[in-house]
Amino acid sequence: MAKMNESFLELKTNYLFAEIANRVRAFEEANPNPELPLIRMGIGDVKLPIPQMILDAGKKSLDELGVAEAFRGYEDSGRGYLFAREAVASYYASFGVEINADDVFISDGAKSDTGNIGDLFSPDSVVIITDPVYPVYDNASIMRGHRVVRSNFVTDELPEKADIIYLCSPNNPTGDAYTFEQLKKWVCYAKKVGAVIIYDSAYEAFIQEPDKCPSSIFEIEGAKECAIEIASLSKNAGFTGIRAGYTIVHKELMLEDAKGEKVSLAELWKKRQASKFNGVNYSAQRMIESALSFEGQQALHENIKYYQENARIIMDALTELGIKFTGGVNSPYVWFKCPNTGDSWEFFDFLLNKVHVVGTPGIGFGANGAGMFRLTAFSTRENTTEAMRRFREKIPTVRNS
């Protein structure tokens, strides 16, 4: 019989969201008509519709596919249409970062690329992951048999050797964003040990302090030679269902082969994508073009502001309740220590059963998430306001009990 990849046995797959779903289902079965309806502030999925001009770009592209002269099939570069790659380059230029459209690879979202990029590295690679972490980096590394070393968000106590470093800023789950100084330290460390930083910027659009926190790792000098950036249109443009993102790999970035010869990471990524990926659909790419245009960004800014206001409502309530938190300012996530208990699941059960609010237990994001909790601002204004009203009413009781 064929043998399985034993690394899969080490995965804690879907434990977190499956366990949340089980507990919510049990609650709903036991309470078919709860006095207060359940409010979900767990999974980080967007709620607002995609702005009309971006939808129109998608619809127009579909109409083109119905006309023989305009029809398009496979896209032959495998990296995405030039118009979409140029839209990415112009978007970066709008905040002062120079990107060559040739260095952009259009993707079906950041999850695939953060998960697949490890294919390019040797099986004996050492991967640094900041804990708590977006579980994809961890699981993808484990599946590949890479050795995972856990670190803090900042460059404390790092190993002498590392090959891959996954960074996420603004961070899921903590909502923290790197400052220029903190990110410079990571770039210095990566260069010193010869590692490649995989920088996940899925929540970049939520940065409200651009003078303090970079929007792109390429704002840091020298990052082109040691980092790639993986971006998503899911959270900024509401493309969680459309599926679109992009990855930037500069030509300057090199890996080494067994003989010590330099090999371009971009060339390896091209080979990988050409072998296992057939590109992103034409309509999604026209929607990327529209979303990243000046007008698209203006329309999307309204949606981002809406979520930022939700985050402010959450932060205000936690501040009033004396609960310390991170995030919320440069991120749609607010991360806090569970009041009155050191146990994330205990607090989850309390919120579910007594407050009728669903959040995400921090322990699901790694050992450093123990006793912590995540709430998302990707909710409606009504639900966010109502959830925080319930927090104000119910949490003091627990804190004082």
Between 232 and 281, whose beta carbon lies closer to ligand PLP? 232
**What residues have CB less than 8 Å from 227, skipping those under 6 apart?**
187, 190, 196, 197, 198, 199, 217, 218, 253
Nearer to ligand PLP, 42 or 44 (CB): 44
| Omega of the bond leading into 173 within 30 degrees of 0 (cis) | yes
Nearer to ligand PLP, 287 or 317 (CB): 287
- Smallest gap from residue 45 Cβ to ligand PLP (A): 8
Residues that bind ligand PLP (CB under 6 A): 44, 109-111, 134, 168, 172, 200, 202, 232, 234, 240, 245
CB of residue 199 to ligand PLP, shortest distance in Å: 11
By beta-carbon proximity to ligand PLP, the closer residue of 111 and 224 is: 111
- Of 277, 361, 249, the residue nearest 74 (C-alpha): 277
Nearest approach, Cβ of 44 to ligand PLP (angstroms)?
5
**Residue 74 has which token pair?**
């496979």
By three-state DSSP, how is residue 195 classified? coil
Shortest CB 191 distance to ligand PLP, Å: 24
Q: Strands 164-168 and 126-130: what pairing?
A: parallel
Helices (H), 321-380: 344-350
CB 115 to ligand PLP: min, Å: 9
For ligand PLP, which is the closer residue by CB, 168 or 375?
168
Q: Which helix (H) or strand (E) holds 186?
A: helix 180-193
Segments in 238-343 forming alpha helices (H): 265-276, 282-292, 294-320
Min dist CB 31 to ligand PLP, Å, is 29
Give the residue closest to ligand PLP by C-beta: 109
Take residue 364 and report the two structure tokens written for it: 């699901």
Q: Which is nearer to ligand PLP, 81 or 378 (CB)?
A: 378
- Cα separation, 318 vs 335, in Å, equals 10
Cis peptide before 170 (omega within 30 of 0): yes
Q: Taking the CB of residue 217, how many other CB atoms lie within 10 A of it?
A: 25
CB of 399 to ligand PLP, least distance (A): 30
